[in-house]
């Protein structure tokens, strides 16, 4: 749902004003110093902070040490979460990254930090609107590469489907 709706009239004639937004499509993990022929377990966070909600984190990846993601040479993308709302570029955005490599055993102090850092994006300094861009955060053991787009005139929307009755053929194909 629109978390920060600017519309005062909730009727059918309600219109939002477009504003600049950040859209993230994919996040890749690129380990450089490890044997990348074997799977690597990674965990941590990637969050976006913007001027909405007093710069609270809007998570796009959040995995604990007990629930890591397996990265292989064939599959190096992180499974992204849907952000809780659109990511505003009306003022500035901060992409916060802390990705760690899980070392086998119970001692979390032995885990390795792959990439830990931030990248600030500001609307008035961006000349790269409306096309695919890559934001890279490097660490000692690897990098995190975020594929994104800064959209100049965007409107946040939620599509809600309300099925009163599902045809029998559609119900079968939807389930299997």
In-domain check, residue 11: no
Q: Are 21 and 88 in contact (CB under 8 A)?
A: yes
CATH of residue 142: 2.60.40
In-domain check, residue 54: yes
Phi and psi angles of residue 47, each rounded to the nearest 5 degrees, phi first: -135, 155
Q: Count how many domains the chain has.
A: 1
Nearest partner of 71 among 111, 40, 102, judged by Cα? 40
In-domain check, residue 149: yes
Task: Note the pLDDT of residue 3.
Answer: 43
In-domain check, residue 86: yes
Each of the 176 residues of the chain gets a pLDDT tens digit; together they read: 344 445 555 555 556 678 788 888 899 988 775 565 678 899 999 999 888 777 788 899 999 999 999 988 788 889 988 777 778 887 778 889 999 998 887 777 789 889 999 888 776 556 667 777 888 898 888 889 998 888 888 877 777 777 777 766 655 555 44
Task: Note the pLDDT of residue 67.
Answer: 94
In-domain check, residue 90: yes
CB atoms within 10 A of CB 64: 9
Task: Note the pLDDT of residue 4.
Answer: 46
Task: Note the pLDDT of residue 170.
Answer: 54
Task: Note the pLDDT of residue 169.
Answer: 61
């Amino acid at each position: 749902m629109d978390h920060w709706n600017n519309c005062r009239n909730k009727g059918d004639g309600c219109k939002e004003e477009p504003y600049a937004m950040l859209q993230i499509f994919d996040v890749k993990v690129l380990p450089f110093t490890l044997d990348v022929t074997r799977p690597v377990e990674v965990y941590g966070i990637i969050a976006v902070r913007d001027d909405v909600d007093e710069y609270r984190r809007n998570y796009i990846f959040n995995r604990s040490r007990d629930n890591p993601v397996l990265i292989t040479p064939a599959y190096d993308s992180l499974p992204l979460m849907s952000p809780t709302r659109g990511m505003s570029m009306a003022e500035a955005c901060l992409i916060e990254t802390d990705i760690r490599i899980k070392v086998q055993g119970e001692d979390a102090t032995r885990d390795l930090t792959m990439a830990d850092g931030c990248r600030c994006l500001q609307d008035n300094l961006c000349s790269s609107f409306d096309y695919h861009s890559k934001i890279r955060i490097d660490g000692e053991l690897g990098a995190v590469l975020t594929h994104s787009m800064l959209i100049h005139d965007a409107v946040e929307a939620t599509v809600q489907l309300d099925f009163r009755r599902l045809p029998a053929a559609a119900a079968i194909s939807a389930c299997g």
